[in-house]
């Protein structure tokens, strides 16, 4: 029974009797060549597929390296920015402290100016008092000046000729009279 099912190619019922057993064996040999060609083509396609995948993997690796380098650069920049921000914050604190110190200095200067203004007001009051001094005091001061001029005239008189000495003596007498009138 099992033999009935398997029959050689040329002996089947309803098969085309135009194929001879030689032709059928030639077809088997041709099918081997086709199978060999398909196998070579498959190997060739596998090689092409391998190199394509390999080049894509290399490109992907290069892109990953670029991404890693970029990430490293971003981290470096981030560290620099953080460092700069810390420096700026420190500088801002120093500026704030200096501004506060300047404000204190300005307040002290304003206090000193207020003190000076008070002293100037006191001096203005004293000057006003001096301007209001009685004529007697003013005459005493002027009399002292005239006495001083007389003494200088006496000294100059001892150094000059007789004629000039007489003129200085007359000027001295006039100054003495004025001084007596002021007292």
**Distance (Å, rounded) from C-alpha 47 to C-alpha 41?**
10
Please report whether residue 17 resides in a domain.
no
Decide: 182 and 141 in contact? Cβ < 8 Å: no
On whether both 94 and 37 belong to a single domain, the answer is yes
Q: Are residues 123 and 34 in the same domain?
A: yes
Does one domain contain both 80 and 142?
Answer: no
Co-location of 49 and 95 in the same domain: yes
Over residues 15-39, the mean pLDDT reads 71
**Whether pLDDT at 113 is above 90:** no
Q: Report whether 179 contacts 143 (CB < 8 A).
A: yes
Whether 115 and 149 share a structural domain: no
Q: Are residues 109 and 172 in the same domain?
A: no
The answer as to whether 175 is a domain residue is: yes
Query: Is the pTM for the entire model greater than 0.85?
Result: no
Residue 178 near residue 146, CB atoms below 8 Å = yes
Indicate if 91 and 32 belong to the same structural domain. yes
Split into its structural domains, the chain has a count of 2
The pLDDT score that the predictor gives to residue 3 is 53
pLDDT category of residue 72 using cuts at 50, 70 and 90: very high
**CB atoms inside a 10 Å sphere around CB 146:** 19
Cα-flanking dihedrals φ and ψ of residue 121, to 5°?
A: -65, -40
* Phi, psi for 20 (deg, rounded to 5): -95, 160
Do 175 and 121 have their domain in common? no
């Amino acid at each position: 029974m099992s033999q009935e099912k398997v029959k050689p190619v040329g002996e089947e019922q309803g098969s085309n009797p135009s194929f001879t057993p030689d032709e059928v064996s030639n077809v088997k040999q041709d099918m081997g060549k086709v199978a060999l060609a398909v196998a070579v083509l498959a190997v060739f396609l596998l090689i092409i597929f391998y190199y394509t995948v390999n080049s894509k993997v290399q490109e992907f690796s290069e892109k990953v390296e670029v991404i890693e380098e970029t990430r490293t650069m971003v981290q470096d920049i981030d560290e620099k920015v953080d460092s700069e921000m810390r420096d700026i914050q420190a500088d801002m604190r120093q500026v704030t402290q200096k501004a506060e110190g300047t404000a204190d200095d300005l307040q002290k200067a304003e206090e000193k100016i207020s003190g000076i203004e008070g002293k100037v007001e006191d001096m203005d009051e004293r000057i006003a008092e001096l301007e209001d001094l009685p004529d007697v005091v003013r005459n005493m001061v002027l009399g002292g000046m005239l006495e001083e001029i007389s003494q200088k005239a006496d000294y100059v008189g001892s150094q000059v000729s007789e004629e000039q000495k007489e003129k200085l003596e007359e000027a001295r007498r006039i100054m003495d009279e004025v001084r007596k009138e002021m007292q």
